[in-house]
Chains A and B, each alone.
Chain A
């Protein structure tokens, strides 16, 4: 791994709650974010992702632990002395200043000379494709434009790390998709480390080099998009990222990185055991299989074959979704891609079918 841009070492944050109780927003979080990385903090609201970001920015101080930026411990360094800049969800553009004054604000604080400020503000506005907007007021701009100004206002300072707190949250879907790609491209161009907070898993998968999935103040899993999607290490991650099926069962046999699991209802299957998971025979576990990794088309050479009855069929264009109840009562969904007309005619409602999937597609989870 290259040099670390940001490191959180055993960081805790506790707040006094409204009723005098202590609320723990962040629990023992340790993160290593490499220089030049596009890193996402992903989780549902209240998971501690924004608090973690605010501790990097300096708006909050950790109750315990330490935040490092390029190896330097931040301690109690106030926000205005940290080499980072933030893009806020609400953009937080100064309404009483023009766009030019907004973008120049950071450089003025650094006492950069006037000519240089003017040149860099011009460059920054060009970078976000809003050159010539200097004289306008924030209110005269659309949401997407304001968002780009907020970006320019932060990037013009050439921060060591750019922090983004749900920056696309207020935009409509189409604009958001555009901005996702634009942000990703921009990050490649400027080469600055981006730390990005979002609750939108698709957004995190689209943009980030690596993702930390958080829940209830804890980082559950850190990895790149495919690691997180293909190899979830716990039920929450599997459920939060994309769609998945869960089946409950008991471990019957362990063979290296595979386990034979007997499902509730008696059917058995073989599933992969992730590195972080340790199981012993007799243990109750959850099996997760992504719907697109399950198939209704018969094939002789797959070990895992479960029988069930089709309860509903939904055609959504690219795919057909089959709802099934397995013998034993567990409900699952199977997604068949519509690459031929037959894929939507693989089964009829009420028909008994065989579902097959590979051993690697099924994963044993303990929590």
Chain B
């Protein structure tokens, strides 16, 4: 094959697409060093206090509300990732291994939430929780302080729910072409089901499982809509908190927070990609 010279128009349009994609992020990062309190005009790099240009980063680390929201977000993301990875991987293995009645239907149903508008899922989960909590609370006649309410629990449960199909999808892709004979070979050599899973199946699908976990983690980290519907007092996450801030004033503090956030997501996605591409 001969090397083809790219038309300058193709290169130009590619550059424009990337500018379109990354300009907002660049602007966001630049404004996190702004000396003005507003996000309208860039008035030069801030140099204030012991942190110098990273003034807004320090401000945000001093903010208890932000730190609480960060803690909540990480707790929710880690817990929901843990459970959704286990459940999603189990589902992928079952779909791969067994040829049961209704297999195709259950697979389609599993992936359906991915294409369902998140707002619909959010409202659905909200109605489900409030209706069932109301019913349980009145049935058991629980004291006001022991009533089931929306909070960390409901957010975690709903994050687990929406992450499962993504994990299954990623693990299924990894399982595609998995040689079942490898498991049979392990059993043939004297390994029981559990040892076979631990020594053969899991190491072979681990890159897929990890990639699925990373995806679940990032999805949970930046989820707004479903969290908005299922959160309660004391369960404010970073996206919810930022949204609250924006309604008052957008300070470079928000930009600093977002910049760190982008870095975290970038690292997680990078690791996930690396695992997925690894043989």
Contact = CB atoms under 8 A, between A and B. Distances in A.
Interface string A324-364: 00000000000000000000000000000000000000000
Interface in A73-97: 78-81, 84-86, 88, 90, 92-96
Contacts of A93: 185
Contact of A88 (B184, B195, B203): B184
A157 B188 CA distance: 11
Contacts of A92: 179, 181-182, 184-185
A149 to B, nearest CB: 12
Given A96-B203, A109-B195, A80 B181 contact: no
Given A92-B185, A96-B204, A109 B179 contact: no
Given A80-B192, A94-B200, A96-B204, A105 B186 contact: yes
A110 interface: yes
A315 interface: no
A106 B199 CA distance: 12
Interface string A133-175: 0000000000000000000011001000000000000000000
Contacts of B1: none
B267 to A, nearest CB: 26
B190 A110 contact: yes
Nearest to B195: A109
Contacts of B191: 80, 105, 109
A5 interface: no
B263 interface: no
A78 B190 contact: no
B189 A106 contact: yes
A88 B185 contact: yes
B15 interface: no
Interface in B162-217: 179, 181-182, 184-192, 195, 199-200, 203-204
Interface residues of B, number: 17
A4 B204 CA distance: 39
B188 A86 contact: yes
Contacts of B192: 78, 80
- Residue in B181, B190, B195, B204 with the greatest tally of chain A CB atoms within 10 Å: B190
A153 B181 contact: no
Interface in A49-101: 57-59, 78-81, 84-86, 88, 90, 92-96
Contacts of A154: 188-189
Nearest to A110: B190
Contact of B187 (A79, A95, A96): A79
A84 B182 CA distance: 16
B272 to A, nearest CB: 20
A80 B204 contact: no
B181 A90 contact: yes
Contacts of B182: 92, 94-95
Nearest to A109: B190
A80 B179 contact: no
Contact of A57 (B188, B190, B195, B199): B188
Interface of A: 57-59, 78-81, 84-86, 88, 90, 92-96, 105-106, 109-110, 153-154, 157
Given A59-B184, A88-B184, 9 more contacts: A59-B188, A79-B187, A80-B190, A80-B191, A80-B192, A90-B179, A93-B185, A105-B191, A106-B190
12 contacts: A80-B187, A80-B189, A80-B191, A88-B181, A88-B185, A92-B185, A94-B200, A95-B182, A95-B204, A96-B204, A105-B191, A153-B189
